[in-house]
Structure formats: structure tokens, C-alpha cells
Amino acid sequence: MQVVLGHLGERIPFDMWRIDNLMNKLPVKLPAKKRVSEYLRNNFHLTTSGQFHDTPFHCALAEMGPSRIMFSVDYPYEEMAPAAAWFNKTELSDADRTRIGRTNAIKLFKLDLG
């Protein structure tokens, strides 16, 4: 199953280390085969929706990787022009900008856009 979380993952990527660390300290072990962070990186995708600030974006990018993030705006709460201006300026390789801005969504949602 694949799940899409908006707003750069609702702060979950910022707590991934802590979640794993605390889960390891539980007195009762859960029957999970992987760490929580591994499930997040394999089964979740994030959108930028409403989060157009470099620091949290690059933290989420570092935790999840460029293949797990998609550009989105969160209309009507945010506007396309400033969101697009931020996305065009933020530090990314051309390949990652294309992934995040286009091809990740095409692949995930199986869109016939080529």
C-alpha cells in the first residue's frame, strides 16, 4: 500500500529517528519486521502542499529521498505563483526537480503523461 501525506509529512519525517529510537526502548517488542522509518520510506510519499520553506523541505528530502516527494500547492490556502517561484529557486539538481515536480506523481498515480 502507498500513502500520500501532505504538508511535508505532517512533521513525521522530522521525528523518524526519535520514533525508531523510542520503539527500540519499549519493554514489549512489536511484531514488526522493519523499523518504522523503513515502512515510512517504502510506503509513504510526501507533498510540499503549503510548506514552501527551504529548511523543512530539505530535511524531509534528506529523510525520505527525492523519489518520495511531490510538488503541490494546497490551494485555496496557498497560491500557485509564490509556490512555483519557491520551487524553481530551492536548491535541487535538475533531475530531482523533475522528479519532485513531475515524474514522481506520474509514476505513483500511473498517469498517462509520458
Distance CA 78, CA 96 (A): 23
Distance CA 108, CA 20 (A): 26
**Which is the catalytic residue, given 15, 20, 54, 74?**
74
In sequence order, what are the residues at sequence separation of 6 or more whose Cβ sits closer than 8 angstroms to the Cβ of residue 64?
A: 9, 13, 40, 41, 44, 46
Is residue 74 part of the annotated active site? The answer reads yes
Enzyme catalytic residues: 74
